[in-house]
Amino acid sequence: MKSYRNRGIELCSFLIVLTFLLVVDQSSILAQGISDLGSQSRGISRTAMKITTEAKVSDDDYSNDQIPKQALKQIDPDKDRIPFDDLPLSAEDLKVLEEATTELIPDYQAATVNIQVGGGQGSGVVISPEGHILTAAHVVGKVGNSVVIVFTDGRRHRATVVGVDVRADAAIVRLDGKGPYKFIPMATNEFAKPGRWVVAIGHPNGYETSRLPVVRLGRTLSITPRTIQTDCSLVGGDSGGPLFDLNGRVVGIHSRIGVSNSINYHVPVQVYLNDWEELNEGDTRDEDSDNNSKPAPPRKAYLGIRGRDATGTGCIITEVSPNGPAEDAGIKPGDIITKCDGKNVKNFGELVAALKANQPDDEIKITVRRNNTLKEFTVKLGATEL
Q: Does 42 score more than 50 pLDDT?
A: no
What contacts 338, CB < 8 A, 6 or more positions away?
Answer: 313, 314, 344, 345, 367, 368, 369, 374
Helix (H/G/I), strand (E/B), else coil: 367: strand
Look at residue 64 in the predicted model and tell me its pLDDT: 55
Strand 170-175 and strand 156-165: pairing?
antiparallel
Instruction: Report pLDDT digits (tens) over 289-298.
Output: 444 444 444 5
Report the C-alpha gap between 135 and 158 in whole angstroms: 15
What is the third-level CATH fold of 299-385? Answer: Pdz3 Domain (2.30.42)
Instruction: Report pLDDT digits (tens) over 119-160.
Output: 788 999 999 999 999 999 989 988 999 999 999 999 999 999
First to last CA, the chain: 41
pLDDT band at 299 (very low <50, low <70, confident <90, very high): low
Judge contact between 375 and 329, C-beta under 8 A: no
Cα-to-chain-centroid distance, residue 358? 25
Instruction: Report pLDDT digits (tens) over 333-376.
Output: 999 999 999 999 998 888 888 888 888 889 999 999 999 999 99
pLDDT band at 259 (very low <50, low <70, confident <90, very high): low
**Closest CA relative to residue 181, chosen from 233, 251, 133:** 133
Choose the CATH number for 2-113+182-285 among 3.40.50.1000, 3.40.50.1970, 1.20.1250.20, 2.40.10.10: 2.40.10.10
Report the C-alpha gap between 277 and 235 in whole angstroms: 31
Instruction: Report pLDDT digits (tens) over 162-172.
Output: 999 988 899 99
Q: Where are the domains of the chain?
A: 2-113+182-285, 299-385
**8-state DSSP, 269:** H
Percentage helix, strand, coil, to 5, in the chain? 20, 35, 45
pLDDT band at 268 (very low <50, low <70, confident <90, very high): very high
Look at residue 84 in the predicted model and tell me its pLDDT: 63
Burial 215-225 (b: 16+ CB within 10 A, else e): bbbbbbbbbbe
pTM of the model: 0.65
Look at residue 353 in the predicted model and tell me its pLDDT: 84
Give me the mean pLDDT over the 308-337 stretch. Answer: 88
Look at residue 164 in the predicted model and tell me its pLDDT: 92
